[in-house]
Structure 1
C-alpha cells in the first residue's frame, strides 16, 4: 500500500483541510493518507481549540487514515524544528510521498530555491543569525537572507516567495527531507481561498483556521462558522461545547499561567525553554499587573519579541518545559498512534516490520522523556479546559480511535 504524508494541526478541521487530504491522495496516486498532527499545544504557542482526540476523530471522518502525534517538543517549536520532526515521523511511517499546502502551489520553485540556498548555506545561515541577534523576527530574518542572497541574483528557474507563511513552512519540509535523505517524493497543493491570517468571508466555503477561531471567539457561537467546516466537524464542535462550555484559548488558560509565573519568579522562569535575554523579569512584572491575557501581551509584546515568540515561551512556562527537558529530547523516538481507519489498520499490519520507529498505542507501554512529557502536557491542558473537573490520564486510558 502506498501512503502520502501530511503535517497538520486541525485547529479546527475545516473545508480547506478536507481538500488537502483528498487532493494529496489523488495527486500522489496513494492508497491512504497519514497525518502527523500536533497535540494539545500548537506551533504558534497556543492551546488547541479542542483536544487531540477530538481532532483525530475529525480527521478520520474526513479523509485521513492514520494519525500520529507530533511530540510536544517539536509541535511547539520554531518552523525548522517543527518541520524536521514532522518529516522524520512521516519517513519513519513509510510514506512514499509528502504533500503540503502552499501559496505557490507547484513544487519546482521549492526545489530550485532549496538548491540555490544550499549553494550559499553558510552565508545564508550567518545572515539569518545576525538578523535575529539584531532583534528581527525569524520569518523576517529568513526573508531578508533570501532577498539578499537569492532573489537579487539571476535565477535560471522560478524560485519561491519566502515571505509567505505556508511557503516558508513548505520550504522547511523540503529542507528537512533533504537533510535526512528520505526517499519520499515532495508534492504541494495551492492554498485555496482565504490567506493564513484572513478573516472569514461568508460567501465562500473556505476560510482559514485563524479566521474561524476569531469568528467564534468574537460571536461566541458556532452558527457563524458552520459553512466553513464539514458537517461531522460542526457536530463535534457543538458536542464539545455542550460538555465543556468553552474552547481552548489563552484567555481561558491565563489564570493558571499567571499563577505559575508569579509562583516561579524570574529565577525559575529563566530555566524555561525559549526564555532569553532577561525577558523573565518583564514576564513576571506583566503577570503582576495584568488581569487578562490581552493586557499581559500588551505589556510584553515588542518589535523584538513577536506575539508568536512570546506565546511559545508562555506555552513552555505553562507546561514546565525547560532547556534541560529539550536537551533530553532530540530526534523523535516513537510513532504515537492516535487513530486509524480500517485502511490505516491494514497498512500498519502490512508494514509492521518495515517501520523505522515503534508504534505506540498507549503510553503505559512505552517509556521515554518525550512520551512521558506528552502525558503530563495532556493533563495540564485538561486543567486549562476545566479546572474543576479536568479529564486526567487520557494518554494512558484512551486507546487509538478507530473509524470505518
Structure 2
C-alpha cells in the first residue's frame, strides 16, 4: 500500500481541508492518506479550538486513514522545526510522498528556491544577520534576504505567503533528513490564510471560522464552510467543555502563571528572549483581557505569533533547557485510524522506523511525557475535570 502524508492542524477541519486531502490522494495516486496533526497547542502559539480527539474524529469522518500526533515540541515551533517534526514522522511511517497546499500551486518554484538558498547559504545567512540588526522582525529579515538573492527571477516561490513558507520548509526538512519522500503541492483555493468568512464562498479559512464563532455565530451557522461530520464533532465538543479553546479562555491561568513566575523565571522559558520577560510581566499586571495583554507587548520586532509561542511555553512550563534536549521524534503516537489505515499499519509494521504508540501509558520518554503534560494543561484551561483523558482515550477507529 502506498501512503501520502499531510501535515495539518485542522483547527477546525473545514471544506478547504477536505479538498486538500482529496487532492493529495488523487495527485499522489496513494492508497491511503496519513495526517500528522498538531495536538492541543498549535504552531501560531494558541490553544486548539477543539481538542485533538475531536479533530481526529473530524479527519477520519472526512476520509483521512491515519491520524498521528505531531508532538508538542514541534507543533508549537517556528516553521522550520514544525516542518522538521512533521516530515520526520511521515518519513518514519513510510509515506512515499507528502502533499501541502500552497499559494504557488506548483512544486518547481519550491525546488528552484531550495536550490538557490542551498547554493548561496553563507550569503543568505549574512543578509539575514544584517537585516535583523536594523531592528526588523526575524520573518521580515528572512524575506528581505531571500528577495535580495532572487532579484528579478520569476521561477521561484513567493515566500511572503504563509503556506508557501511552510511548503518551502517541508522540502528543506526532507532534504536535510535525506528522505526519498516525494514532495507534491496543490493550489490553495477559496479564502486566504487569515481571511474573514465571505458569504457565498464554500471554503473559508480556519481563522475566519474561529473568529466568526467567537463573535457570536453558532456552530450550525458555520455549517456552510465545514463537512456535516465536522459540525457534529464540534457540537459534541461544545457540549463536553461548554466552550472552545482560545487565549481569552485561558488568560486567567496564563496571567496567574506570569505573575507567579516573575521576570527572572520567565526568561527560562523557550523563545523568551531579549528582555521581553519584563514587558510580559508588567503587562500582566494591568491587562484584564488577553487582547489587552498582547497589545501591550507586540511590536514590529516581536510579532503576535512569536509572542504567543512564548506564552504557550510559559503556560505549559516548557523551558529552553527542555527545548534544546530534543533532536528528533522518538515515537509515532496513533490518534485514530480507518480500516484501510489499520491494514496499512499491519502490512508496514516491519518497515516503520519508530515505535507506534497507541496509549499514553506507553509514552515513557521525555517527549511523550511533555505531550501528556501539555494535554493536562489544555484540559485545565478548558475547565475540564477529566484531566486524565489522555490515559482513558484509546485511538479512534472508523471501520
TM-score range for the pair, normalised by the shorter chain length: over 0.9
Name which of structure 1's ranges 192-201 and 394-403 shifts more when overlaid on structure 2. Answer: 394-403
Give, in angstroms, the shift of residue 224 of structure 1: 2.8
Map Cα deviations across residues 203-259 of structure 1 (whole Å, 9 max, x no partner).
Answer: 011001011111111124223311000001011112222222110000000000000
Q: Give the aligned partner of residue 135 of structure 1.
A: 135
1:9-51, Cα deviation, whole Å (9 max, x unpaired): 0000000000101110011000000000000000000000000
- Of 256, 260, 264, the match for 1:267: 264
User: SS where residue 87 of structure 1 aligns?
Assistant: helix
Measure, in 1, the Cα distance between the counterparts of 2:8 and 2:74.
13
Once residues 19 and 129 of structure 2 are traced to their aligned partners in structure 1, the CA distance between those partners, rounded to angstroms, is 37
- Structure 1 residue 133: deviation in Å? 4.5
- Distance in 2 (alpha carbons) for counterparts of 1:48 and 1:401: 19
Question: Does the 8 A contact of 2:138 with 2:301 survive in 1?
Answer: no
Q: CA separation in 1, counterparts of 2:138 and 2:342?
A: 40
Match of 1:291 among 273, 279, 288: 288
CA distance in 1, matches of 2:289, 2:199: 30
Aligned pair in 2 of structure 1 residues 225, 138: CA closer, same or farther (>3 Å)?
farther
Distance 2:210 2:181 in 1: 33
Are 2:348 and 1:377 equivalent residues in the alignment?
Answer: no
What is the match of residue 355 of structure 2?
358
**Which residue of 162, 167, 172 corresponds with 1:170?**
167
CA contact (8 A) 2:34 2:66 kept: yes
Partner of 1:71: 71
Number of equivalent positions: 399
Aligned counterpart, 1:193 = 190
Indicate if the aligned counterparts of 1:117 and 1:150 stay in contact, CA closer than 8 A.
no
2:392 counterpart of 1:390: no
Alignment TM-score, normalising by the size of structure 1? 0.97
- Give distance in 2, aligned partners of 1:266 and 1:206: 43
Counterpart pick for 2:345 among 341, 348, 355: 348
Q: Superposed, which structure 2 residues align to 1:110-259 within 5 Å?
A: 110-152=110-152, 154=153, 158-259=155-256
Match of 2:394 in 1: 399
Mapped to 2, the partners of 1:208 and 1:328 lie a distance apart of 35
Shift of 1:329: 1.7
Runs of 5+ consecutive residues of structure 1 not aligned to the other structure: none
* Shift in Å, 1:92: 0.3
Query: Would the aligned equivalents of 1:254 and 1:292 in 2 still touch at CA under 8 Å?
Result: yes
1:8–1:35 Cα contact (<8 Å) kept = yes
User: Do the aligned residues in 1 keep the contact of 2:338 with 2:398 (CA within 8 Å)?
Assistant: yes
Q: For structure 1, which segment, 317-326 or 218-227, has the greater mean C-alpha deviation from structure 2 after superposition?
A: 218-227
Query: Aligned residue for 1:84?
Result: 84
**SS of aligned partner of 1:312:** helix
Aligned ranges 1:15-26 → 2 under 5 Å: 15-26=15-26
Could you report, residue by residue, the CA deviation over 1:130-159 in whole angstroms, capped at 9, with x for unpaired residues?
A: 33354322332221111101234x56xx11
- Alpha-carbon distance in structure 1 between the residues aligned to 2:267 and 2:95: 40
Which whole-Å CA distance do the structure 2 matches of 1:210 and 1:133 have between them? 32
Matched, 1:368 2:375: no
Q: Contact 2:39/2:71 (CA < 8 Å) preserved in 1? A: yes
Deviations 1:248-278 (A, max 9, x none): 0000000000000000111110100001111
Contact kept, 8 Å, 2:332 with 2:354, in 1: the verdict is: yes
CA distance in 1, matches of 2:213, 2:363: 38
Rate the CA distance shift 1:205–1:46 in 2: closer, same or farther, 3 A: same
Instruction: Give the TM-score taking structure 2 as reference length.
Output: 0.98
Instruction: Give the drift of 1:380.
Output: 0.5
Partner residue, 2:308: 311
Q: Distance in 2 between matches of 1:134 and 1:224?
A: 46
Equivalent in the alignment of 1:336: 333
SS in 2 for 1:27: helix
Distance in 2 between the 1:262 and 1:133 partners? 31
Query: Is 1:99–1:187's contact at 8 Å kept on the other side of the alignment?
Result: yes
Structure 2: gaps of 5 or more residues: none
Shift in alpha-carbon separation, 1:316–1:133, aligned structure 2, 3 A: farther
SS at match of 1:114: helix
Does 2:279 match 1:282?
A: yes
| Structure 2 match to 1:60 | 60
